[in-house]
Structure 1
């Protein structure tokens, strides 16, 4: 089944990719609409848009999905629910495709909610307590964004439609600030920006092929893609400033947390969170084309990075702690080669996929009007990225193998290693090809020599610091034990998982119980449905008396009472 699905998605990738190139150079847009419901002047329309942005992104989604499905044929081979897993992954891909091809908020909601629902089913796939908790945190965090989309749909009613491409000019003034903030909130929840960052590392409870799909081109990138589509609406607004500050904080926080993490998949998840902060921060500065460029180039090497991590985890007996690895370059040279390419592309090593997009983003950000805090967060995030990458290489690939009893660590699985070829090629030359295709005219970069070389200097310094800190960490004098509070604080993303689960849920549950007592079982009970029920019941009793021909009795009593009142006054 996985081969059929892979071939189907690969054919779709080739068709959408060739169509995207045609649209890019002909500068044409095709919109297909089906009217579902008409309500006064508002019509509910299912809309599909075929322009170079949607088709190119769909091409990358299908390319990565086909590689992941081929990879899953070996990774999930022994699973008894293998077919169910494949159907869930295909539903995930189709939900993302529905969202990518929709310029209409209502049709976007179908793909948006589909991603949330299927992601929950995939996170709880292994059916244990940890997966259940992670799935609940994931779906509840994403529901905040779903509510924001629903409220923005309600606000767009006064425009007479929900196709935001038609109404971008009308929403450029300050009257639509609430709508813009709702869209930013929706993107923040899906892309796991602060304070919704806790669900992204928790979602690593899902199988590794799902993580490769989620972190490269589907779930977390949906928020970035939505912001790219809404970028004309956000031009010069407070929502843009809010997004810039939050994304820079997320970028810095994720890079810092990855340097204290030991779970292989969570380190890669935090690197995704850092890169999402890069995308949204440059988008907040007004460069949506650069954000889209980095979105595509990042998708190639991040999917491959997770696939290599899955091969490592399988090889060392399903351990995910990087301290149990080491010296894998001697046993798995093929996978280590791909892992190294991905790590260097993530750091922005010259002429790999990440270099073309990341270096341009940083240089444009340094040229822009950003405050001092955001500038330093950019600089520190670059250094931290190289630092945790060197840490990952130090623990997993170099040195001696730390599980000497497990000697059967080899690159013998042709399905797993064969699925990496296409993405490995993309991680090497994909950035250059995208740069030539998307930017036929080069950006004009004007900056001093110090600012120009700042990225390279910070990268080298971050790598050296990361390497020497790792040498100290294997010593018997463990500095981390002396500063336990700060290690836990920085390693747990500033206590965000605790705040997102235990404390917040406790406050929310208590507030819900109070509202239930006062509202649902209090005033709403009196004046709501129950009060209306008893009022109508009494009224129907009286009507029943009239229906039973007892009108004469009531009339006699009424006349008698009137006569008594008159007699008393006379």
Structure 2
């Protein structure tokens, strides 16, 4: 469990260190050493745990659940602040709906629905951790040189390099938390953190186009967040333990088909499947490392991760066939669009969406 906690908390600690960094040389060393540590620990995790099957780690998670609820309210305030500032009434409405569902869950939840083993590890989560830890860390190291030249060529944009790296490492921390969480409450919390960070990273330059595209990504992912929150509320009224992934996946399709469908919808929005693919294309307006992180180790992979994780529930159902159709349709259309593009970033965006569609089709 120590390795899991390290991977979840260490990137967050790195992000906090960035708050105090003033010199480029200090930032370079912190990013490089942090990336090395994260990459090394993910490899150690692979070597020591891959052949041990599924392991669950139990402890009293109530204080952590309370902290997550407080942080979710902080995320709500941040999003509402931006939405009010830019008069985006759609985001305001969606945020309020999602917040109402979260508060409903907190008021309805009883000790009976507490998850005894909130953390777990299996081969699938280790593979995901390798993607996040190795590719994500390499992107952070690459960003050191890229962002220096970026601001040299965009002199009219304020230098927010420290803020950029804070969001990047919080992003990585959230992804580790998402893939190692057995508690659906924890999965949802980290899911929302990736949504917030993607919004802030896409709009990092604060240009009109970047801000517009950041809000597009935000409202589309908020739709998924509402569906995810609704699934948790639904499961709250199910038998004890139904908020644990281990219990949900073996409980029988009849009990969990509705919440699985809601979570499947959330997965489609996060994985940028049609008709929600435009947010990922719009994200290409951000600096290249942001696009790389969104495409490779966060956000979109969170969407396909949750769909593949719920594949046993979808198997042989109308929902499963629907997901397969959406994925196949997205694969076909996005592939056609990709080969017709001349802009390299748009080629990458649509080819990514197409490959994600193929994974979704398999999951369905």
Q: TM-score, structure 1 length as denominator?
A: 0.48
Q: 1:262, 1:101 → 2: CA distance? A: 39
Q: 1:23, 1:44 → 2: CA distance? A: 23
Q: State whether structure 2 residue 181 is matched by structure 1 residue 155.
A: no
1:271: which partner in 2? 351
Structure with bigger helix share is 2
Q: State the Cα deviation string for residues 203-224 of structure 1 (Å, max 9, x = none).
A: 1111101111110111111011
Q: CA deviation at 1:156?
A: 1.1
Give the one of 18, 37, 44 matched to 2:44: 18
Q: 2:261, 2:37 → 1: CA distance? A: 39
Q: CA deviation at 1:45?
A: 6.5
Q: CA deviation at 1:28?
A: 4.5
DSSP-derived class of the 1:218 partner: coil
Give the one of 180, 190, 214 matched to 1:111: 190
- TM superposition outliers: structure 1 runs of 4+ over 4 Å: none
In structure 2, the gaps of 5 or more residues are 1-26, 66-108, 152-158
1:198: which partner in 2? 278
The alignment's C-alpha RMSD in Å is 1.8
2:104: which partner in 1? none
2:22: which partner in 1? none
Pairs within 5 Å for 1:552-563: none
Q: CA deviation at 1:228?
A: 1.9
Q: 2:165, 2:335 → 1: CA distance? A: 33
Q: CA deviation at 1:4?
A: 2.0
User: Which protein shows a greater Rg?
Assistant: 1
2:200: which partner in 1? 121
1:233: which partner in 2? 313
Q: State whether structure 2 residue 120 is matched by structure 1 residue 94.
A: no
Q: State the Cα deviation string for residues 417-443 of structure 1 (Å, max 9, x = none).
A: xxxxxxxxxxxxxxxxxxxxxxxxxxx
Q: 1:149 to 1:33 in 2, by over 3 A?
A: farther
Q: State the Cα deviation string for residues 236-272 of structure 1 (Å, max 9, x = none).
A: 1111100011101100111111133232211101000
2:139: which partner in 1? 68
DSSP-derived class of the 1:166 partner: helix
Q: CA deviation at 1:191?
A: 0.4
CA contact (8 A) 1:115 1:219 kept: yes
2:110: which partner in 1? 39
Q: 1:232 to 1:2 in 2, by over 3 A?
A: farther
Q: State the Cα deviation string for residues 45-64 of structure 1 (Å, max 9, x = none).
A: 68221223223321221111
Q: 1:215, 1:178 → 2: CA distance? A: 29
2:342: which partner in 1? 262
Q: 1:166, 1:176 → 2: CA distance? A: 10
Q: 2:350, 2:116 → 1: CA distance? A: 38
1:6: which partner in 2? 32
Q: 1:122, 1:53 → 2: CA distance? A: 27
Pairs within 5 Å for 1:123-202: 123-157=202-236, 158-161=238-241, 162-173=243-254, 175-202=255-282
CA contact (8 A) 1:96 1:218 kept: yes
Q: 1:3 to 1:266 in 2, by over 3 A?
A: farther
In structure 1, the gaps of 5 or more residues are 285-570
DSSP-derived class of the 2:118 partner: strand
Q: 1:201, 1:82 → 2: CA distance? A: 23
Q: State whether structure 2 residue 128 is matched by structure 1 residue 57.
A: yes
Give the one of 205, 214, 225 matched to 2:294: 214
Q: State the Cα deviation string for residues 290-326 of structure 1 (Å, max 9, x = none).
A: xxxxxxxxxxxxxxxxxxxxxxxxxxxxxxxxxxxxx
Pairs within 5 Å for 1:275-354: 275-284=355-364
Higher normalized contact order (CA 8 Å, seq sep 6+, divided by chain length): 2
Q: 2:333, 2:58 → 1: CA distance? A: 42
Q: State the Cα deviation string for residues 349-370 of structure 1 (Å, max 9, x = none).
A: xxxxxxxxxxxxxxxxxxxxxx
2:154: which partner in 1? none
CA contact (8 A) 1:255 1:270 kept: yes
Q: CA deviation at 1:42?
A: 2.4
CA contact (8 A) 1:172 1:235 kept: no
For this pair of structures, how many residues does the alignment match?
A: 283
Q: 1:28 to 1:108 in 2, by over 3 A?
A: closer
Q: 1:44, 1:50 → 2: CA distance? A: 15
